[in-house]
Amino acid sequence: MRQIADWLGEIGLEQYAQRFAENDIDFRVLPDLTDQDLKDLGVASLGHRRLLLRAITELKVEKEVPTTSATELVSSGKAAERRQVTVMFSDLVGSTALSARMDPEDLREVISAYQKCVADTVQRFGGYVVRLDRVVCAVDCGRVVNPDGAKAQMEGGIIFGASAALYNAIDIEKGRVVQTNFDAYRVMRIDETPAIEVYFVDSDQPPTGTGEPGTAAIAGAIGNAVSAATGTRLRKLPVGRRVISG
């Protein structure tokens, strides 16, 4: 029979096996443990408590989800359901260099924290991650009379155009438009807005408008960025509905 000590060994925290045994913690009690309970058991490391709580949650899921063997599936005459799955790989830049400088346990906590941030982001977007982090914009609009106003014009145009490129679509169902308000046809939220840098080309030419250039150009810029990063050329918008691989 599987023991708590075996389970702790599987998740790399076997050093706590004796404390669990001394406090009569078995698989019947395990699902009820809280962060404070783990502190009381002597698990001082926040990273280790988070790892334990995550492993406990996964253990609950394993027990709740019934499994069906391939033999049972064939004998029942049920056809297997085919589903498309998109997998996102997240990599921590510089992790190789970190591994040479940090203690293995400390590095594991750093990587676990990073992975948790990625998982939280994926969950917040319902499984689809389409995020614009930074936009650098160079504008040749003649003589700039009001730099702050022109900068605000470009920033607003970029946000409006990027919202359309990333999220906006009009769907027709039974002859009617599906999107009825800005919850479905939306603009970027504050926490989704990229860092925007605007630079004006020095010019002695007469002033021209800055109302539309940011809106019109950003979709192409996003498409070029995706192509440069993945080798995949986008042919349809919004980007949020495209499956990008590479």
Statement to judge: residues 151 and 209 lie in one domain: yes
Statement to judge: residues 214 and 138 lie in one domain: yes
User: Total domain count for the chain?
Assistant: 3
Q: Do β-strands 172-173 and 195-200 pair in parallel, antiparallel, or remain unpaired?
A: unpaired
pLDDT of residue 156: 92
The residue-averaged pLDDT of 196-206 equals 89
Among candidate residues 124, 143, 176, the one where a domain is terminated: 124
Grouping H, G, I as helix, E, B as strand and the rest as coil, residue 38 is helix
Instruction: Flag whether 205 is in a domain.
Output: yes
Statement to judge: residues 27 and 100 lie in one domain: no
Instruction: Flag whether 169 is in a domain.
Output: yes
Cα–Cα distance, 71 to 76 (Å, whole number): 9
**Tens of pLDDT, residues 51-100:** 888 888 887 655 554 555 555 555 555 555 555 444 444 555 566 777 77
Instruction: Flag whether 76 is in a domain.
Output: no
Statement to judge: residues 20 and 88 lie in one domain: no
pLDDT of residue 152: 92
Higher pLDDT, residue 100 or 176: 176
Our measurement of the distance from residue 209's CA atom to the centroid of its chain's CA atoms, rounded to an integer in Å, reads 37
CB 150 within 8 A of CB 200: yes
Statement to judge: residues 139 and 227 lie in one domain: yes
Statement to judge: residues 226 and 150 lie in one domain: yes
Give φ, ψ of 89 to 5 degrees.
-95, 125
Structure tokens given for 95? 């992790």
Q: Is the pLDDT of residue 215 over 50?
A: yes
Cα–Cα distance, 234 to 216 (Å, whole number): 16
Statement to judge: residues 148 and 226 lie in one domain: yes
Cα–Cα distance, 91 to 84 (Å, whole number): 23
CATH number, domain of 34, equals 1.10.150.50
The residue-averaged pLDDT of 197-215 equals 86
CB 48 within 8 A of CB 113: no
The rounded mean pLDDT for the chain is: 78
pLDDT of residue 5: 86
pLDDT of residue 148: 92
CB 201 within 8 A of CB 212: no
DSSP H helices in the chain: 4-10, 17-22, 35-40, 46-64, 70-76, 95-101, 104-124, 147-166, 213-230
Our measurement of the distance from residue 173's CA atom to the centroid of its chain's CA atoms, rounded to an integer in Å, reads 30
Statement to judge: residues 108 and 180 lie in one domain: no
Statement to judge: residues 60 and 99 lie in one domain: no
Statement to judge: residues 39 and 113 lie in one domain: no
What is the domain extent for residue 37? Answer: 4-64
Residue 215, classified by CB atoms within 10 Å of its CB into exposed (0-12), middle (13-18) or buried (19+), is buried
CATH number, domain of 226, equals 3.30.365.10
pLDDT of residue 86: 45
CB 175 within 8 A of CB 239: no
Sign of CA dihedral 3, 48, 127, 230: negative
CB 188 within 8 A of CB 180: no
Instruction: Flag whether 75 is in a domain.
Output: no
Instruction: Flag whether 167 is in a domain.
Output: yes
Instruction: Flag whether 73 is in a domain.
Output: no
Instruction: Flag whether 106 is in a domain.
Output: yes
**Residue 161 CB coordination number (10 Å):** 22
Higher pLDDT, residue 46 or 96: 46
Statement to judge: residues 89 and 183 lie in one domain: no
pLDDT of residue 245: 47
Structure tokens given for 106? 């400390």
pLDDT of residue 84: 46
Statement to judge: residues 90 and 179 lie in one domain: no
**Tens of pLDDT, residues 144-175:** 999 999 999 999 999 999 888 888 888 898 89
Instruction: Flag whether 87 is in a domain.
Output: yes
